[in-house]
Chains A and B, each alone.
Chain A
């Protein structure tokens, strides 16, 4: 090729690029590429959703429910409408009412479909279906935006979605992986609170046990102090109502409590070590509001110190089977509690210790 040929070729190439830029056509090409990229990932989410639906159907069939279609369609699209927040008066009461109603409605639907199955197995079914519903919701929302963005050629919307897709896909895969733990009732990372509470109860002399509101309350004597251990009732998939129960116990004791200590899993920041333990002040609980505020109100009403202990992990570790490293951190957390108890209370004190989280696979 001679040098004149080459320069003509280069000139044509520059001309094409110039035309693409001034007509905005390159943007169209970019848009099509992004849409293609999103659709490929959306298909992955769809296949995960379909696969998990089949897994749940098989699970229900094994439990004796041959036609699970009706139950699934009702539960997969179940929704809860948030309470009005523009007028915040008694919002906690309204929110608590709606949350409990959601919980009870789902429980009732599953109970009607599977009357011969034990309570623990039923709780696993409820959680499993809610995970599949979450995956379904992700799928439907992404599908909505890609259809809308493509129809209206909304460059900004498609661009945002493109860069959000890796994160959305990651969360979907975490839910997909979590399904295994929930189907078989294995303890999950979020269960560190109840696990620490269980380990502590094993170490001390438990004198009484009662169950209030799906939540176990164990009274025990430990290091010459009265311990009241609160955790969700296990070993089914259950988070209980620790806030309401702590509030009730504090009222029963007329505020004669020297320390409230909550233990929970916390999402770690990138770069932090999984299984590291941190302490602080406040109510360590990740509910939408009602349980947390109940603990804070009980503590502030009687001026009770409110301490928190968290075990750090990422979302994947929190929702899937508890890692050995985090399990070992729970053992370390029990010694940590010993230290907090000895440092901040005297002999004869009354201490409430609440293990917050899903107690699946952990009894008591």
Chain B
């Protein structure tokens, strides 16, 4: 009887672990901008219409033009 209870408890524990492992991670899209003048790099959120290589925004350090160096998803933990 004790063995049966142990078995049931183990199965519940295992399904809980499995569920936690399978919990889907969520991602936000970020982009890295590099200054064409002083090579300063900033990271910010993706905006619709952006693509790699697009010239946008000005550098906060020297006021030069910035280019999107990369766009990628970063995992967020809640």
**A residues within 8 Å of B by Cβ?**
173, 184-187, 195, 198, 234-235, 320-324, 326-327, 361-364
Compute how far the CA of A112 lies from the CA of B52 in the bound complex, rounded to whole angstroms.
Answer: 29
Q: Give chain B interface residues in 20-78, CB to chain A under 8 Å.
A: 24, 27, 29-30, 46, 48-54, 70-75
Q: B73 contacts A185, CB within 8 Å?
A: no
Question: A185 to B51, Cβ gap below 8 A?
Answer: yes
Complex Cα spacing A250 to B52, Å: 30
Distance, CA A364 to CA B54, complexed state (A): 11
B24 cross-chain contacts in A, Cβ below 8 A: 173
Contact B49 A322 (CB under 8 A): no
Pair B70/A327 contact, Cβ less than 8 Å: yes
- State how many angstroms separate the Cβ of A292 from the closest Cβ of chain B: 26
Q: Is the CB of B49 within 8 A of A185?
A: yes
Main secondary structure of the interface of A (DSSP, over half): loop
CB of B73 within 8 A of CB of A235, answer no
Complex Cα gap A320–B29 (Å): 10
Given contacts A186-B71, A195-B52, A322-B73, 9 further A-B contacts (CB under 8 A): A184-B48, A185-B48, A186-B29, A187-B52, A320-B73, A321-B27, A323-B72, A327-B70, A361-B52
What are 20 A-B residue pairs whose CB atoms fall within 8 Å in the complex?
Answer: A173-B24, A185-B48, A187-B51, A187-B52, A195-B52, A198-B53, A234-B51, A235-B51, A320-B27, A320-B73, A321-B29, A321-B72, A322-B71, A323-B73, A323-B75, A324-B72, A326-B72, A327-B72, A362-B52, A362-B53
Query: Hey, which chain A residues are within 8 Å of B51, CB to CB?
Result: 185, 187, 234-235, 361-363
The minimal Cβ–Cβ distance linking B68 to chain A, given in whole angstroms, is 9
CB-CB nearest in chain A for B54: A363
A187 contact set on B, CB distance < 8 A? 51-52, 71-72
Which residues of chain B have C-beta atoms less than 8 A from A327's C-beta?
A: 70, 72
Q: Are A361 and B27 in contact (CB under 8 A)?
A: no
Name the distance in Å between B27's Cβ and chain A's nearest Cβ. 6
**Provided the pairs A187-B71, A361-B71 are in contact, do residues A323 and B48 lie with their beta carbons within 8 angstroms?**
no
